[in-house]
Chain A
Amino acid sequence: MRGTDEVLLRRVARGEADALTALYRRHAEGLFGFLQRLAGDRMLAEEILQDTLLAVWRGAERFEGRAQVRTWLYGIARRQAHNRLRSVRPAETALDDVPDVAEPAAGPEELALVRLDRDQVLAAVARLGLRHREVVVLAFVAELSQAEIADVVGVPVGTVKSRLHHARAALVHALAELEGTQR
Protein backbone atom coordinates (compact mmCIF):
# COMPACT_ATOMS: atom_id res chain seq x y z
CA MET A 1 0.00 0.00 0.00
CA ARG A 2 2.76 2.41 1.03
CA GLY A 3 4.87 1.56 -1.99
CA THR A 4 1.95 2.02 -4.31
CA ASP A 5 1.08 5.37 -2.77
CA GLU A 6 4.66 6.52 -3.27
CA VAL A 7 4.63 5.40 -6.90
CA LEU A 8 1.41 7.32 -7.44
CA LEU A 9 2.85 10.39 -5.75
CA ARG A 10 5.96 10.28 -7.94
CA ARG A 11 3.66 10.20 -10.97
CA VAL A 12 1.72 13.14 -9.53
CA ALA A 13 5.02 15.00 -9.24
CA ARG A 14 5.52 14.41 -12.98
CA GLY A 15 2.16 16.06 -13.63
CA GLU A 16 0.02 12.95 -14.20
CA ALA A 17 -3.51 13.90 -13.24
CA ASP A 18 -4.81 10.31 -13.37
CA ALA A 19 -2.27 9.37 -10.69
CA LEU A 20 -3.69 12.09 -8.45
CA THR A 21 -7.19 10.76 -9.12
CA ALA A 22 -6.05 7.26 -8.15
CA LEU A 23 -4.34 8.56 -5.01
CA TYR A 24 -7.42 10.57 -4.10
CA ARG A 25 -9.70 7.55 -4.54
CA ARG A 26 -7.54 5.57 -2.15
CA HIS A 27 -7.76 8.17 0.60
CA ALA A 28 -10.88 10.13 -0.29
CA GLU A 29 -13.15 8.68 2.35
CA GLY A 30 -10.78 9.21 5.28
CA LEU A 31 -9.49 12.58 4.07
CA PHE A 32 -12.88 14.01 3.34
CA GLY A 33 -14.32 12.56 6.53
CA PHE A 34 -11.52 14.19 8.49
CA LEU A 35 -12.13 17.54 6.82
CA GLN A 36 -15.91 17.33 7.06
CA ARG A 37 -15.89 16.57 10.75
CA LEU A 38 -13.13 19.06 11.44
CA ALA A 39 -14.89 21.86 9.55
CA GLY A 40 -18.40 20.83 10.57
CA ASP A 41 -19.74 21.82 7.18
CA ARG A 42 -19.75 19.86 3.94
CA MET A 43 -19.31 22.84 1.60
CA LEU A 44 -16.40 24.20 3.60
CA ALA A 45 -14.89 20.72 3.75
CA GLU A 46 -15.10 20.46 -0.06
CA GLU A 47 -13.27 23.77 -0.39
CA ILE A 48 -10.55 22.64 1.99
CA LEU A 49 -10.35 19.34 0.11
CA GLN A 50 -9.69 21.27 -3.10
CA ASP A 51 -7.04 23.36 -1.35
CA THR A 52 -5.49 20.12 -0.15
CA LEU A 53 -5.49 18.49 -3.58
CA LEU A 54 -4.01 21.63 -5.11
CA ALA A 55 -1.28 21.67 -2.48
CA VAL A 56 -0.57 17.98 -3.16
CA TRP A 57 -0.52 18.63 -6.92
CA ARG A 58 1.91 21.49 -6.49
CA GLY A 59 4.01 19.97 -3.75
CA ALA A 60 4.23 16.31 -4.77
CA GLU A 61 7.79 16.75 -5.97
CA ARG A 62 8.80 17.89 -2.49
CA PHE A 63 7.72 14.62 -0.84
CA GLU A 64 10.91 13.08 0.52
CA GLY A 65 9.58 9.74 1.71
CA ARG A 66 10.41 10.38 5.35
CA ALA A 67 6.75 9.94 6.29
CA GLN A 68 4.05 7.70 4.92
CA VAL A 69 2.17 9.19 2.00
CA ARG A 70 -1.02 8.79 4.01
CA THR A 71 0.18 10.85 6.98
CA TRP A 72 1.75 13.37 4.57
CA LEU A 73 -1.66 13.81 2.93
CA TYR A 74 -3.39 14.25 6.24
CA GLY A 75 -0.72 16.71 7.32
CA ILE A 76 -1.39 18.83 4.25
CA ALA A 77 -5.16 18.56 4.76
CA ARG A 78 -4.73 19.61 8.38
CA ARG A 79 -2.65 22.66 7.44
CA GLN A 80 -5.18 23.73 4.80
CA ALA A 81 -8.01 23.23 7.29
CA HIS A 82 -6.25 25.29 9.93
CA ASN A 83 -5.68 28.06 7.35
CA ARG A 84 -9.37 28.16 6.49
CA LEU A 85 -10.82 27.57 9.91
CA ARG A 86 -8.74 30.27 11.52
CA SER A 87 -10.42 32.85 9.32
CA VAL A 88 -13.89 31.32 9.11
CA ARG A 89 -14.65 29.90 12.50
CA PRO A 90 -15.64 32.24 15.31
CA ALA A 91 -14.42 31.68 18.84
CA GLU A 92 -15.42 28.23 19.88
CA THR A 93 -17.03 27.10 23.03
CA ALA A 94 -13.85 25.87 24.59
CA LEU A 95 -14.19 22.61 26.33
CA ASP A 96 -10.46 22.21 26.52
CA ASP A 97 -10.54 23.41 30.08
CA VAL A 98 -13.13 21.01 31.39
CA PRO A 99 -12.12 19.36 34.61
CA ASP A 100 -9.95 16.37 33.97
CA VAL A 101 -11.91 13.17 34.44
CA ALA A 102 -10.82 9.60 34.59
CA GLU A 103 -10.30 7.72 31.33
CA PRO A 104 -13.84 7.35 30.08
CA ALA A 105 -14.16 3.60 29.92
CA ALA A 106 -17.67 2.19 29.66
CA GLY A 107 -19.44 3.37 32.78
CA PRO A 108 -23.00 4.12 33.79
CA GLU A 109 -22.79 7.61 32.36
CA GLU A 110 -21.62 6.34 29.02
CA LEU A 111 -24.09 3.49 28.91
CA ALA A 112 -26.81 6.05 29.36
CA LEU A 113 -25.39 7.95 26.42
CA VAL A 114 -25.10 5.00 24.07
CA ARG A 115 -28.36 5.85 22.41
CA LEU A 116 -27.41 9.46 21.74
CA ASP A 117 -28.44 10.55 18.30
CA ARG A 118 -26.02 11.57 15.59
CA ASP A 119 -26.77 15.28 15.77
CA GLN A 120 -25.87 15.37 19.44
CA VAL A 121 -22.56 13.66 18.79
CA LEU A 122 -21.77 16.09 15.98
CA ALA A 123 -22.75 19.03 18.16
CA ALA A 124 -20.52 17.75 20.95
CA VAL A 125 -17.57 17.29 18.61
CA ALA A 126 -18.13 20.77 17.20
CA ARG A 127 -17.81 22.16 20.72
CA LEU A 128 -14.32 20.74 21.11
CA GLY A 129 -11.38 23.04 20.58
CA LEU A 130 -9.61 22.59 17.26
CA ARG A 131 -6.59 20.70 18.60
CA HIS A 132 -8.81 18.26 20.50
CA ARG A 133 -11.31 17.92 17.70
CA GLU A 134 -8.59 17.06 15.20
CA VAL A 135 -7.20 14.18 17.25
CA VAL A 136 -10.69 12.80 17.87
CA VAL A 137 -11.53 12.99 14.17
CA LEU A 138 -8.19 11.54 13.09
CA ALA A 139 -8.69 8.65 15.49
CA PHE A 140 -12.37 7.94 14.97
CA VAL A 141 -13.04 9.00 11.40
CA ALA A 142 -9.70 8.62 9.61
CA GLU A 143 -8.89 5.70 11.91
CA LEU A 144 -5.22 6.61 12.19
CA SER A 145 -3.07 5.07 14.88
CA GLN A 146 -1.70 7.28 17.64
CA ALA A 147 1.74 7.19 16.02
CA GLU A 148 0.24 8.28 12.70
CA ILE A 149 -1.71 11.07 14.41
CA ALA A 150 1.53 12.20 16.02
CA ASP A 151 3.11 12.41 12.55
CA VAL A 152 0.19 14.35 11.15
CA VAL A 153 -0.10 16.81 14.02
CA GLY A 154 3.64 17.06 14.51
CA VAL A 155 3.71 16.29 18.25
CA PRO A 156 5.10 13.36 20.25
CA VAL A 157 2.92 10.28 20.68
CA GLY A 158 2.63 11.05 24.40
CA THR A 159 1.04 14.39 23.58
CA VAL A 160 -1.41 12.66 21.25
CA LYS A 161 -2.36 10.27 24.05
CA SER A 162 -2.86 13.17 26.41
CA ARG A 163 -4.91 15.15 23.91
CA LEU A 164 -7.05 12.13 23.09
CA HIS A 165 -7.63 11.52 26.76
CA HIS A 166 -8.72 15.10 27.36
CA ALA A 167 -10.72 15.18 24.14
CA ARG A 168 -12.63 12.06 25.11
CA ALA A 169 -13.31 13.49 28.54
CA ALA A 170 -14.48 16.75 27.00
CA LEU A 171 -16.68 14.85 24.56
CA VAL A 172 -18.35 12.88 27.33
CA HIS A 173 -18.81 16.10 29.26
CA ALA A 174 -20.36 17.83 26.25
CA LEU A 175 -22.64 14.91 25.50
CA ALA A 176 -23.82 14.83 29.09
CA GLU A 177 -24.52 18.55 28.94
CA LEU A 178 -26.40 18.24 25.68
CA GLU A 179 -28.36 15.28 27.03
CA GLY A 180 -29.17 17.29 30.14
CA THR A 181 -30.47 20.27 28.20
CA GLN A 182 -32.82 18.04 26.24
CA ARG A 183 -34.41 16.44 29.25
Chain B
Amino acid sequence: MSEFWQSIQDALRPGPPPADAVSAMLRRAAGEPELVRRRHGHLWFAAQLLTAQMRLIRVSVWLASAFVMAFGVLVLIPLRQGGLSESVLAMIAPFVAAAGIAGVCGPERDPGLELTAATATSPRTVLVARVALVFGYDLVLALGASLALVALGLDTSGLAALIGAWLGPMALLSSLCLLLAVAVGTTAAFTVGLALWLARLLVPSLALDTRWFVPVANAVKVLWATNFVSGVLAAALLAATVVVVGRAYRYPSAA
Protein backbone atom coordinates (compact mmCIF):
# COMPACT_ATOMS: atom_id res chain seq x y z
CA MET B 1 0.00 0.00 0.00
CA SER B 2 1.35 3.41 -0.94
CA GLU B 3 2.18 6.01 1.63
CA PHE B 4 -0.82 8.00 0.49
CA TRP B 5 -3.30 5.21 1.08
CA GLN B 6 -1.58 4.30 4.32
CA SER B 7 -2.17 7.85 5.52
CA ILE B 8 -5.82 7.56 4.46
CA GLN B 9 -6.10 4.34 6.44
CA ASP B 10 -4.49 5.94 9.49
CA ALA B 11 -6.87 8.88 9.26
CA LEU B 12 -9.86 6.57 9.10
CA ARG B 13 -8.83 4.60 12.18
CA PRO B 14 -11.87 4.82 14.47
CA GLY B 15 -12.16 5.42 18.19
CA PRO B 16 -12.47 2.54 20.65
CA PRO B 17 -15.67 0.49 20.39
CA PRO B 18 -18.13 0.69 23.29
CA ALA B 19 -17.30 -1.94 25.89
CA ASP B 20 -20.84 -2.46 27.16
CA ALA B 21 -22.59 -2.81 23.78
CA VAL B 22 -23.74 -6.39 24.43
CA SER B 23 -25.17 -5.69 27.88
CA ALA B 24 -26.88 -2.54 26.57
CA MET B 25 -28.45 -4.59 23.77
CA LEU B 26 -29.56 -7.30 26.22
CA ARG B 27 -31.18 -4.69 28.47
CA ARG B 28 -33.01 -3.31 25.45
CA ALA B 29 -34.05 -6.80 24.36
CA ALA B 30 -35.14 -7.92 27.82
CA GLY B 31 -38.82 -7.31 27.15
CA GLU B 32 -38.96 -8.80 23.70
CA PRO B 33 -41.32 -11.76 23.67
CA GLU B 34 -39.46 -13.73 21.04
CA LEU B 35 -36.29 -13.70 23.15
CA VAL B 36 -38.13 -14.42 26.38
CA ARG B 37 -39.83 -17.38 24.70
CA ARG B 38 -36.53 -18.67 23.37
CA ARG B 39 -34.89 -18.49 26.77
CA HIS B 40 -37.64 -19.80 29.02
CA GLY B 41 -39.95 -21.73 26.72
CA HIS B 42 -43.46 -21.11 25.43
CA LEU B 43 -45.30 -22.31 28.52
CA TRP B 44 -43.32 -20.01 30.77
CA PHE B 45 -43.97 -17.10 28.43
CA ALA B 46 -47.69 -17.89 28.26
CA ALA B 47 -47.88 -18.07 32.06
CA GLN B 48 -46.06 -14.74 32.39
CA LEU B 49 -48.31 -13.11 29.82
CA LEU B 50 -51.50 -14.40 31.45
CA THR B 51 -50.29 -13.33 34.90
CA ALA B 52 -49.44 -9.87 33.62
CA GLN B 53 -52.78 -9.48 31.87
CA MET B 54 -54.63 -10.75 34.94
CA ARG B 55 -53.06 -7.94 36.95
CA LEU B 56 -54.08 -5.38 34.33
CA ILE B 57 -57.75 -6.40 34.24
CA ARG B 58 -59.75 -4.46 36.80
CA VAL B 59 -60.93 -6.30 39.91
CA SER B 60 -64.47 -5.05 39.23
CA VAL B 61 -64.62 -7.21 36.08
CA TRP B 62 -63.98 -10.36 38.09
CA LEU B 63 -66.25 -9.34 40.96
CA ALA B 64 -69.19 -8.25 38.76
CA SER B 65 -69.18 -11.56 36.86
CA ALA B 66 -69.06 -13.61 40.05
CA PHE B 67 -71.76 -11.47 41.68
CA VAL B 68 -74.22 -11.76 38.77
CA MET B 69 -73.68 -15.50 38.44
CA ALA B 70 -74.07 -16.08 42.19
CA PHE B 71 -77.18 -13.90 42.16
CA GLY B 72 -78.71 -16.10 39.44
CA VAL B 73 -78.15 -19.24 41.49
CA LEU B 74 -79.39 -17.65 44.70
CA VAL B 75 -82.58 -16.45 43.01
CA LEU B 76 -83.33 -19.99 41.83
CA ILE B 77 -82.92 -21.60 45.26
CA PRO B 78 -86.16 -20.33 46.85
CA LEU B 79 -88.14 -20.76 43.62
CA ARG B 80 -87.32 -24.47 43.39
CA GLN B 81 -88.59 -24.77 39.82
CA GLY B 82 -86.48 -27.20 37.78
CA GLY B 83 -87.38 -25.79 34.38
CA LEU B 84 -86.22 -22.30 35.29
CA SER B 85 -82.53 -23.20 35.70
CA GLU B 86 -81.86 -23.57 31.98
CA SER B 87 -83.62 -20.34 31.14
CA VAL B 88 -81.90 -18.33 33.86
CA LEU B 89 -78.40 -19.60 33.11
CA ALA B 90 -78.99 -19.24 29.37
CA MET B 91 -79.74 -15.58 30.00
CA ILE B 92 -77.10 -14.79 32.61
CA ALA B 93 -73.97 -16.64 31.45
CA PRO B 94 -73.77 -15.24 27.88
CA PHE B 95 -74.36 -11.68 28.99
CA VAL B 96 -71.86 -11.86 31.84
CA ALA B 97 -69.15 -13.19 29.54
CA ALA B 98 -69.94 -10.79 26.69
CA ALA B 99 -70.01 -7.76 28.98
CA GLY B 100 -66.73 -8.81 30.60
CA ILE B 101 -65.03 -9.26 27.23
CA ALA B 102 -66.35 -5.95 25.90
CA GLY B 103 -65.06 -4.32 29.08
CA VAL B 104 -61.50 -5.58 28.88
CA CYS B 105 -60.87 -5.76 25.14
CA GLY B 106 -62.00 -2.32 23.97
CA PRO B 107 -59.65 0.63 23.95
CA GLU B 108 -61.68 3.23 25.87
CA ARG B 109 -61.94 1.82 29.37
CA ASP B 110 -58.83 -0.24 29.50
CA PRO B 111 -56.23 1.05 31.97
CA GLY B 112 -53.84 -1.65 30.83
CA LEU B 113 -53.89 -0.58 27.21
CA GLU B 114 -51.20 2.04 27.63
CA LEU B 115 -48.92 -0.48 29.30
CA THR B 116 -49.74 -3.10 26.69
CA ALA B 117 -49.03 -0.65 23.90
CA ALA B 118 -45.57 -0.03 25.33
CA THR B 119 -44.57 -3.68 25.06
CA ALA B 120 -43.34 -5.51 22.03
CA THR B 121 -45.81 -8.36 22.53
CA SER B 122 -48.05 -8.63 19.51
CA PRO B 123 -51.53 -7.13 19.98
CA ARG B 124 -53.06 -10.38 18.77
CA THR B 125 -51.23 -12.33 21.46
CA VAL B 126 -52.35 -9.87 24.12
CA LEU B 127 -55.95 -10.01 22.90
CA VAL B 128 -56.01 -13.81 22.88
CA ALA B 129 -54.56 -13.83 26.41
CA ARG B 130 -57.20 -11.40 27.67
CA VAL B 131 -60.09 -13.21 26.00
CA ALA B 132 -58.82 -16.54 27.29
CA LEU B 133 -58.65 -15.14 30.82
CA VAL B 134 -62.07 -13.49 30.90
CA PHE B 135 -63.90 -16.14 28.90
CA GLY B 136 -62.17 -18.91 30.84
CA TYR B 137 -63.12 -17.29 34.12
CA ASP B 138 -66.76 -16.87 33.09
CA LEU B 139 -66.80 -20.42 31.75
CA VAL B 140 -65.64 -21.71 35.13
CA LEU B 141 -68.25 -19.57 36.89
CA ALA B 142 -71.05 -20.85 34.63
CA LEU B 143 -69.87 -24.44 35.02
CA GLY B 144 -69.76 -23.96 38.79
CA ALA B 145 -73.27 -22.50 38.75
CA SER B 146 -74.53 -25.42 36.64
CA LEU B 147 -72.93 -27.96 38.96
CA ALA B 148 -74.35 -26.17 41.98
CA LEU B 149 -77.86 -26.16 40.50
CA VAL B 150 -77.67 -29.87 39.67
CA ALA B 151 -76.19 -30.70 43.08
CA LEU B 152 -78.93 -28.74 44.81
CA GLY B 153 -81.56 -30.60 42.83
CA LEU B 154 -82.75 -27.40 41.18
CA ASP B 155 -82.37 -28.72 37.64
CA THR B 156 -84.32 -31.58 36.17
CA SER B 157 -82.88 -31.68 32.67
CA GLY B 158 -79.39 -32.89 33.61
CA LEU B 159 -75.96 -31.28 33.56
CA ALA B 160 -75.35 -31.70 29.81
CA ALA B 161 -78.61 -30.04 28.85
CA LEU B 162 -78.02 -27.27 31.35
CA ILE B 163 -74.54 -26.55 29.96
CA GLY B 164 -75.92 -26.75 26.42
CA ALA B 165 -78.40 -24.03 27.27
CA TRP B 166 -75.71 -21.41 27.84
CA LEU B 167 -72.44 -22.57 26.22
CA GLY B 168 -73.26 -21.81 22.55
CA PRO B 169 -74.94 -18.45 23.22
CA MET B 170 -72.09 -17.50 25.54
CA ALA B 171 -69.47 -18.20 22.85
CA LEU B 172 -71.44 -16.43 20.12
CA LEU B 173 -72.37 -13.31 22.05
CA SER B 174 -68.85 -13.03 23.50
CA SER B 175 -67.17 -13.31 20.10
CA LEU B 176 -69.57 -10.75 18.60
CA CYS B 177 -68.96 -8.29 21.45
CA LEU B 178 -65.22 -8.91 21.15
CA LEU B 179 -65.22 -8.02 17.47
CA LEU B 180 -67.33 -4.92 18.08
CA ALA B 181 -65.16 -3.84 21.03
CA VAL B 182 -62.01 -4.08 18.93
CA ALA B 183 -63.44 -2.62 15.73
CA VAL B 184 -65.80 0.03 17.08
CA GLY B 185 -65.42 0.40 20.82
CA THR B 186 -66.53 -0.86 24.21
CA THR B 187 -69.72 1.17 24.33
CA ALA B 188 -70.93 -0.07 20.95
CA ALA B 189 -70.09 -3.65 21.89
CA PHE B 190 -71.88 -3.36 25.18
CA THR B 191 -74.93 -1.73 23.56
CA VAL B 192 -75.24 -4.30 20.78
CA GLY B 193 -74.66 -7.12 23.26
CA LEU B 194 -77.42 -5.77 25.48
CA ALA B 195 -79.78 -5.30 22.51
CA LEU B 196 -79.28 -8.90 21.37
CA TRP B 197 -79.71 -10.13 24.87
CA LEU B 198 -83.00 -8.22 25.17
CA ALA B 199 -84.07 -9.58 21.79
CA ARG B 200 -83.49 -13.09 23.06
CA LEU B 201 -85.48 -12.21 26.15
CA LEU B 202 -88.41 -10.65 24.30
CA VAL B 203 -88.71 -12.55 21.03
CA PRO B 204 -90.02 -15.86 22.46
CA SER B 205 -92.63 -14.04 24.48
CA LEU B 206 -93.95 -12.12 21.47
CA ALA B 207 -96.44 -14.22 19.55
CA LEU B 208 -96.30 -12.13 16.36
CA ASP B 209 -97.14 -13.88 13.15
CA THR B 210 -95.89 -11.33 10.67
CA ARG B 211 -93.82 -12.02 7.54
CA TRP B 212 -90.63 -10.54 9.05
CA PHE B 213 -90.99 -11.66 12.62
CA VAL B 214 -91.14 -15.40 12.08
CA PRO B 215 -87.72 -15.69 10.40
CA VAL B 216 -86.23 -13.40 13.06
CA ALA B 217 -87.68 -15.54 15.80
CA ASN B 218 -86.36 -18.67 14.10
CA ALA B 219 -82.92 -17.15 13.70
CA VAL B 220 -82.80 -16.15 17.36
CA LYS B 221 -83.85 -19.66 18.29
CA VAL B 222 -81.12 -21.26 16.17
CA LEU B 223 -78.37 -18.87 17.17
CA TRP B 224 -79.18 -18.72 20.86
CA ALA B 225 -78.41 -22.38 21.34
CA THR B 226 -75.44 -24.72 21.44
CA ASN B 227 -75.26 -26.09 17.93
CA PHE B 228 -73.05 -26.26 14.85
CA VAL B 229 -74.26 -22.95 13.41
CA SER B 230 -73.65 -20.91 16.55
CA GLY B 231 -70.26 -22.61 17.02
CA VAL B 232 -69.08 -21.89 13.47
CA LEU B 233 -70.35 -18.33 13.64
CA ALA B 234 -68.54 -17.74 16.94
CA ALA B 235 -65.31 -19.13 15.48
CA ALA B 236 -65.67 -16.94 12.37
CA LEU B 237 -66.21 -13.82 14.49
CA LEU B 238 -63.18 -14.69 16.58
CA ALA B 239 -61.06 -15.13 13.45
CA ALA B 240 -62.31 -11.79 12.11
CA THR B 241 -61.33 -10.15 15.39
CA VAL B 242 -57.81 -11.53 15.18
CA VAL B 243 -57.50 -10.00 11.72
CA VAL B 244 -59.01 -6.66 12.72
CA VAL B 245 -56.99 -6.23 15.89
CA GLY B 246 -53.68 -6.17 14.05
CA ARG B 247 -54.90 -3.16 12.06
CA ALA B 248 -56.90 -1.44 14.77
CA TYR B 249 -54.01 -1.18 17.24
CA ARG B 250 -50.68 0.30 16.46
CA TYR B 251 -48.05 -1.19 18.71
CA PRO B 252 -44.33 -0.51 18.42
CA SER B 253 -42.70 -3.32 16.51
CA ALA B 254 -39.67 -5.22 17.79
CA ALA B 255 -36.38 -3.84 16.52
Please report the C-alpha to C-alpha distance between residue A113 and residue B7 in the assembled complex, in whole angstroms: 9
B12 surroundings in chain A (CB, below 8 A) = 33, 37, 121-122, 125, 137, 140-141
Q: Chain A 29-53, CB within 8 Å of chain B: the 1/0 string?
A: 1011100110000100010011101
Would you call A24 an interface residue if the criterion is a C-beta within 8 Å of the partner chain's C-beta atoms? yes
Query: Do A37 and B14 touch across chains, with their CB atoms under 8 A apart?
Result: yes
What is the distance, in angstroms, from B120's C-beta to the closest C-beta of chain A? 12
Say yes or no for A91: interface residue by CB 8 A criterion: no
Could you say which residues of chain B place their CB within 8 Å of the CB of A24?
21-22
Q: With an 8 A cutoff between CB atoms, is A105 at the interface?
A: yes
- Indicate the member of B12, B23, B26, B38 with the most A CB atoms within 10 Å: B12
Contact with A along B31-55 (1 / 0, CB 8 A): 0001100110000000000000000
Q: Is the CB of A58 within 8 A of B18?
A: no
The reply on A171 being an interface residue by CB < 8 A is yes
Does residue A17 face the partner (Cβ distance < 8 Å to B)?
yes
Among B14, B21, B39, B255, the residue within 8 A (CB) of A141 is: B14
Chain A CB within 8 A of B87 CB: no
Q: Is the CB of B21 within 8 A of A46?
A: yes
- CB A65 to nearest CB in B, in angstroms, measures 20
A21: chain B residues at CB < 8 Å are 22-23
Q: CB-defined interface of B1-26 with A at 8 Å, one 1/0 digit per residue?
A: 01111011101111111100111111
Determine if A81 is an interface residue (Cβ-Cβ < 8 Å).
no
How long is the Cα–Cα vector from A31 to B35 in the complex, in angstroms? 24
| A100 interfacial by beta-carbon distance below 8 Å | no
Instruction: Find the A residue at minimum CB distance from B34.
Output: A58
Given B14, B16, B25, which contacts A54 in the complex, CB threshold below 8 Å? B25
Q: Which of B3, B18, B29 contacts A32 (CB 8 A)?
A: B18
Given contacts A106-B2, A114-B3, contact A42 B15 (CB under 8 A): yes
Do A106 and B3 touch (CB < 8 A)?
A: yes
Q: How many residues of A contact B (CB 8 A)?
A: 40
Asked if A111 meets B4 with Cβ closer than 8 Å, knowing A15-B38, A57-B35, A122-B12, the reply is yes
Q: How far is the CB of A131 from chain B (nearest CB, A)?
A: 17
Q: How far is the CA of A53 from the CA of B18 in the complex (A)?
A: 12
Expressed in whole angstroms, the Cα–Cα distance for A125 and B22 within the complex equals 28
From the candidates B8, B22, B25, name the one contacting A140 in the complex (CB within 8 A): B8
Contacts A15-B39, A122-B11; A54 near B21 (Cβ below 8 A): no
**Which secondary structure dominates chain A's binding surface?**
helix
Q: Please, what's the 1-or-0 string for A98-120, where 1 marks a CB less than 8 Å from any CB in chain B?
A: 00000011100011011111100
Q: Answer yes or no: B250 CB below 8 A from chain A CBs.
A: no
Distance between Cα atoms of A157 and B22 in the complex (Å): 32
Residue in contact with B11 in the complex, picked from A53, A105, A106, A116, CB distance below 8 Å? A116
Give the complex CA separation of A118 and B14 in angstroms. Answer: 11
Partner of A20, one of B15, B22, B39: B22
**Is the Cβ of A33 less than 8 Å from the Cβ of B28?**
no
Say yes or no: A49-B18 contact (C-beta < 8 A), given A54-B29, A113-B4, A114-B4.
yes
Which residues of the partner chain A approach B17 to less than 8 Å between Cβ atoms? 28-29, 31-33, 49
Separation of A24 and B23 alpha carbons in the complex (Å): 11
A53–B21 CB distance below 8 A? yes
Annotate B98-123 by CB proximity to A: 1 below 8 A, 0 otherwise.
Answer: 00000000000000000000000000
* B3 with A118: CB separation less than 8 A: no
User: CB-CB < 8 A to A114: which residues of B?
Assistant: 3-4, 7
Which residues from chain B contact A20 at a C-beta distance below 8 Å? 22
Q: Would you give 6 A-B contacts (Cβ < 8 Å), ordered by A?
A: A21-B22, A50-B21, A53-B21, A54-B255, A57-B26, A140-B8
> A residues near B, CB below 8 A?
15, 17, 20-21, 24, 28-29, 31-33, 36-37, 42, 46, 49-51, 53-54, 57-58, 104-106, 110-111, 113-118, 121-122, 125, 137, 140-141, 168, 171
Can you name 4 extra interface pairs (CB under 8 A) apart from A33-B12, A51-B255? A49-B18, A50-B25, A116-B11, A121-B7
Name B's A-contacting residues (CB within 8 A).
Answer: 2-5, 7-9, 11-18, 21-26, 28-29, 34-35, 38-39, 255
